[in-house]
A and B are shown apart, each in its own frame.
Chain A
Amino acid sequence: MPTSSIEEWRYSEIDELDISKYLISSSEVVRDCTSALTASVLEANDNALVIVTRNGVVDPNFDPPDGIKLGGSDPEDISHDFSGADLFSYLNALLGSPLSMSIGAVYDQRRPVVVVRYLDSGNPAAIFPNLCLKLEEGASAQVIEVLVSPEDSELLAIPVTKIFQAQGSSLDYLLVQDIGSKCKMIGHQASRLMDNARLKSMSIVAGGDYARLFTTSTIAGAGAESRLNAAYFGSGQQVLDFRTLQEHSAKNGRSELYFKGAAANKSHLVYSGLIKVDKGATSTDAFQTNKNLVLSEGARADSVPNLDIEENDVRCSHASSVGPIDEDQQYYLESRGIKPELVQRLIVGGFFSEIAERSAIAGVKEALRTLAARKWRELQQ
């Protein structure tokens, strides 16, 4: 087991994790559940192709349409070469029920693909949802993953999503995580982009007692472009922990990361990110921004951006901020005659709706509004 003394787990809750208490069990009845947050995304995409999984297992009655192939295991060309594998992604590979999906160029991109993952167990259990997604050459799609569990179930969720984008493919990806407050999550989302592929990713993280998401994206082909966004709002005693790696191993690539979090009550946000530009990845543009809004005295955010550049001809930057609501913004809106509580709600809502514009998937703006409103209520309590 890793410990918080190693850099990748610094600030994390890994030392408190007693992995032995979770059974490896997926045989129970899994209750479907929903939240206002997940419902807002599902409603906005009511024309979607919906694939339901329960504790990682795909509904056996599901019949994929033209252009989508489902398989039980990793397609051979996406199983290797993903960066950032750790103990937990190995556990997932060993113990998970893999869902592999290949989307071809003939798939009708106007119909988003939604993978709904219901997680549930009557006893403390570890669950290993797994998605291997391949976009074939020239394919274009929107894929949404929804991770949700009932409030009373006590789970350790270890989801892994691997995305392989062949040459010229284009993907809009959205993760909506709204698991119950007794759950812990240690997740990994990895993407690998070949020549001129385009990824636009958004992760909305709301739930869990400890929720960690490791996002890695590799520019493996020339001219590929990866846009990684995340929005998260901690409340209560939550620890929301984000680790990112933008890796450029091919030339003319672009990666742009924008992670925004707000911390209320006694929650704790962690961001630690690395841009890595390999030798030979010339003409790389890589940017990394992490902004944190700390809304309560007991809340906290740590932000650690890093660069590791082995090439000269690159444009890279990182920026991070941690702080309370901006006083000038607060005064400006108050001077319009808006009462202070409403001003703060507006600014916090704006903090999230600003990032919504970075996703083309329907319902993102609404989802972020729902998230901000819900956490705002918790902040007032």
Chain B
Amino acid sequence: MLRIEDLRAGVGSKEILRGINLEVRSGEVHAIMGPNGSGKSTLSHVLMGKPGYEVLGGSVFLDDTDLLALPAWKRAQAGLFLVSQYPIEVPGVSLEEALEAAFETSGRNATGLHEEILREAASLRFPISLLGRSLNVDFSGGEKKRNEMVQLAVLRPKFGILDEIDSGLDVDALRDVSRRVEQASNEDQLGVLAITHYSRLLKELRPDRVHVLVRGEIAATGGPDLAAQLETTGYAEYGVAEDDKEIVGASIFGL
């Protein structure tokens, strides 16, 4: 279980997250929706431990592990995985080398790793020809996200944060990625926090709970119907400008 209590955080002196409370149990999929600037990406970075973000108060526990006390790599070792919105290019380092190093760090036996990568790549329709290439270098938007999912599938974390996973994804890729997340949630009891601006992701990845993040606070929580409601009303009722409603609307008709 991921338990976030009164999490406050920011960059420099600016407080962006202003007291987040959230509980996501193993095997559950929660969505966090919110307009631009509501703190969605900050939340994912603070949970993962990206340098440059400052925690001002509160706590985050993954089962019994106090995540905020750990550097990013130890949070990952504790079972947290972030599917990045913008996966970084790492010249000369292949997916297999990176996963081998992650196995080496945790002392996991890497026998059969190669076969498992091939299997997951095939099921996520990530081109096998890219496996030996530099991570994310010259990958398309869809290939980057499929590649992130291959990593998640092989590393088998306890908990996954999907940061705007729908950005840069076509419908087919969105479906493949969502199926794999659901499979991990059902078979491996993966807990999921899916952060998104748009409701289109939530048509593929059916969340158990939906939270609306506005100005660094959870403004509403509900079932999947809350996402459907946001499609029609936008974020206006949370005091957010009309532009954002248009973006939510555009996502339904345009994509």
Query: Could you list which residues of chain A lie within 8 angstroms of chain B, going by C-beta atoms?
Result: 327-329, 331-340, 342-343, 346-347, 349-355
Contact = CB atoms under 8 A, between A and B. Distances in A.
A249 to B, nearest CB: 34
Contacts of B81: 335-336
A338 B105 contact: yes
Given A337-B105, A354-B134, A332 B87 contact: yes
Q: Main SS of chain A's interface residues?
A: helix
Nearest to B104: A342
B78 to A, nearest CB: 9
Contacts, number: 85
B101 A342 contact: yes
A78 B73 CA distance: 57
B62 to A, nearest CB: 13
Given A336-B98, A336-B151, A354-B134, A331 B92 contact: no
Given A335-B48, A335-B82, A339-B105, A350 B90 contact: yes
28 contacts: A327-B51, A329-B89, A329-B90, A332-B88, A332-B90, A333-B93, A333-B98, A335-B48, A335-B49, A335-B84, A336-B81, A336-B98, A336-B102, A337-B76, A337-B105, A338-B73, A338-B76, A338-B98, A338-B101, A339-B73, A340-B73, A342-B101, A343-B101, A346-B98, A347-B93, A350-B91, A350-B134, A354-B92
A112 B61 CA distance: 60
Nearest to A346: B93
Contacts of A338: 73, 76, 98, 101-102, 104-105
A334 B84 CA distance: 13
Given A327-B51, A331-B51, A337 B102 contact: yes
B2 interface: no
A340 B87 CA distance: 18
Give the one of A329, A332, A350 with max B CB within 10 A: A332
Interface string B37-74: 00000000000111100000000000000000001110
Nearest to A351: B92
B155 interface: yes
B87 to A, nearest CB: 7
Given A336-B76, A339-B73, A354-B134, A329 B97 contact: no
B233 interface: no
Nearest to B90: A329
Nearest to A350: B92
A336 B75 CA distance: 9
B77 interface: yes
Contacts of B50: 331, 335
A338 B87 CA distance: 16
B91 A351 contact: yes
Contact of B72 (A329, A335, A342, A346): A335
Contacts of B72: 331, 334-335
B123 interface: no
Contacts of A350: 90-93, 97, 134
Contacts of A331: 50-51, 72, 88
A332 B76 CA distance: 11
Nearest to B134: A354
Nearest to A336: B102
Contacts of B76: 334-338
A349 to B, nearest CB: 7
The list of the 3 closest CB pairs from A to B, nearest first, reads A350-B92, A337-B76, A354-B92
B75 to A, nearest CB: 8
B97 A346 contact: yes
A338 B107 CA distance: 11
B5 to A, nearest CB: 23
A83 B224 CA distance: 72
Contacts of A352: 92
A347 B89 CA distance: 11
Give the one of A329, A337, A353 with max B CB within 10 A: A337
